[in-house]
Structure 1
């Protein structure tokens, strides 16, 4: 039985249960379930939160990325630079518009895409870079922006794991040409179902995304392009409005617990290192350990829930087997996939629970390696 869950979603929803119930009643009584006032209000509130001009609610995070790429006119024959270590949705978005994902290795210390490696991957076919703010830590956007501007490339944020994070004092969502968010229930800002959004300062881009996402139509029954149906649900928007005012507080709780992990585990495991100018919101607390699978099994036996993000790099998946034949290897991503372990973390976890996880992890490390001394990552 899991005594310390990987993430306690029930506690988060319980904290705002009254507001959630009121939101449900409000939407039900309005009888307006698609693209009405709740979506419009959330779009305005979330754009303001991100310090961006406009937010467009869409079906989910993957569709947010697809719509950005389509609106930029990226398609067959084009290349998009993507992290080699990320959730496969980043790659799938590129594939779904007919472009080719080009993997770029991460910095081993932050796990985010390496700006220096991007320079070496650019070709005449390159059209964009998708920077994933992996595990809730912003990528090095200043360096990435310098590279993309120099080469005339679009810079897109995959902010699905980083709601509220900052880089150089600015929120993610306002650091590139456009940003894609997911509101999957386990995210720092999560709905009670699927949902996503695009945030941008480009009003014409936002208008094009709205057109594509609404069956390719700006006017009812007039379809100028072959669009799709990707809409943030009215009810989910109402739920998100209940949680958005608490997001900074919940992120603050995550940050306190992450620092507690770091203090207790320093020198025992390879810890994530926050890049200069970045403020992480710790969607996940991910460490590198030897004998990862055995360590995870020991923690499970101790009643502690863990997860692996991600055991199979996109280039090693069956979905990209053909592409892998023509791509150079990605040894950093391969190494990370064998060593990364995500420990429990959430805004409703307690300091005592963190202490118990650390004690169990240190005991497991001693059991399986005979020593607490393993490699340390540095920037």
Structure 2
């Protein structure tokens, strides 16, 4: 395959994905339009039931976004001013943003060198008498070390919220992410492994009291219409997105298998040249992103772009160095692993629709760059 035979390889090809599932998607949308029921209807209930079954949790609650799922989870645990929540500085902004939204203080802990996930040893060092919870991110679709993390949480009596926004379907010791800690949070942003056609999210839990609290919180703190027992949020998953997600959930395992096969080919072709994710036999990594490391990351990204290949940097600035969190008092050097990875990581296209020929072209382009810039 040469550059003249195509114009552009995107990170995720949503148009190609839609071409495969267009008919059932249109049928699902038509069902909602014909029902005249657009908020908190049957499609939402069906999605919640199907999602809970898929994740392996007792309950699931739809929300308006993954960010709202995180905020609702914290609010359901009565976490607020004066409380600290430990999380990773190497994640999307929303993880820590949700902590601030409920009035609590984000406290960061460094990440593991190999997995990019939060380091259990660093968590324990960050615990204080004000610590109430952990938000554990399963970054890029790779499960965090939940066994050690849960041991730390049990030792100090901390709630564990799993930010599984990038990791639906990922497994850890035969359990799905989102059903291991006290609460799981999922994002259905369009580019996610299970993506809506707009913003959408979900909360999972095995605790009935948390389930009932979040049901109320997401609907303005109301259990009965026009009666409000607490201050809540407007974070209801609409019927259109629920219907679309129900269809796409049916295809999810097929698409995850494709991602894992694409990741395997990348690793087999590139691991002797630069740092790549390990090949996995099971589903401890479902590759929402496939990230490689390079000392010449920016030059490599430019070379890919010049050859019509998209790439992305997740994430160029760790959260403790973001201007919005200046007030926390962190400095450069506080979390050296996260800072180092932020300068080295680049994500390659990993759409489940990526063709064998397109992937070969990407691999060839990377090898050519490395040969000329070794």
Counterpart of 1:224 in structure 2 is 229
Change over 3 Å in CA distance of 1:85–1:273 after alignment to 2: farther
Separation of aligned partners in 2, 1:2 and 1:217: 51
Residue of structure 2 aligned with 1:164, choices 158, 169, 181: 169
Instruction: Describe how 1:1-379 pairs up with structure 2 within 5 A.
Output: 2-273=7-278, 279-325=284-330, 329-368=334-373, 371=374
Using the TM superposition, give the Cα deviation of residue 6 of structure 1 relative to its aligned residue in structure 2, in angstroms: 1.4
SS in 1 for 2:292: strand
Distance 1:169 1:269 in 2: 30
Q: Is the 8 A contact 1:169 1:277 kept in 2?
A: no
The 8 Å contact of residues 167 and 277 in structure 1, kept in 2 or not, is answered as no
Supply the distance in 1 between the matched residues of 2:283 and 2:19 (Cα, whole angstroms): 31
Separation of aligned partners in 2, 1:223 and 1:328? 47
**For the Cα contact (< 8 Å) 1:250–1:347, is it kept in 2?**
yes
CA contact (8 A) 1:168 1:277 kept: no
| 2: CA distance, partners of 1:84 / 1:276 | 29
Q: Distance between the aligned counterparts of 1:206 and 1:224, measured in 2?
A: 16
SS at match of 2:343: helix
What is residue 376 of structure 1 aligned with on the other side?
none
Q: Cα–Cα, structure 1 residues 223 and 81, in superposed 2: closer, same or farther, change >3 Å?
A: same
Looking at structure 2, the residues matched to 313 and 276 of structure 1 have their Cα atoms a distance apart, in angstroms, of 30
CA contact (8 A) 2:313 2:346 kept: yes
Q: Is the 8 A contact 2:64 2:238 kept in 1?
A: yes
Using the size of structure 1 for normalisation, the TM-score is 0.94
Deviation of residue 348 (structure 1)? 0.6
Moved more, 306-315 or 175-184: 306-315
Supply the RMSD in Å over aligned alpha carbons: 1.6
The 8 Å contact of residues 267 and 278 in structure 2, kept in 1 or not, is answered as no
User: Structure 1 residue 365: deviation in Å?
Assistant: 2.0
Paired with 1:274 and 1:168, the residues of 2 have a C-alpha distance of 17
Pair 1:245–1:19, CA change in 2 (3 A): same
CA contact (8 A) 1:137 1:274 kept: no
Q: How many corresponding residue pairs?
A: 369
Q: Is the 8 A contact 2:7 2:308 kept in 1?
A: yes
CA distance in 2, matches of 1:324, 1:274: 39
| C-alpha displacement of 1:324 | 3.3
| Contact 1:110 1:275 (C-alpha < 8 Å) held by counterparts | no
8 A contact 1:2–1:305 mirrored in 2: no
Distance in 1, matches of 2:165 and 2:217, equals 21
- How far did residue 363 of structure 1 move? 1.3
Query: What are the ranges of 5 or more consecutive residues in structure 1 without an aligned counterpart?
Result: 372-379
Q: What is the CA-CA distance between 1:353 and the residue it aligns to? A: 1.7
Structure 2: runs of 5+ lacking an equivalent: 1-5
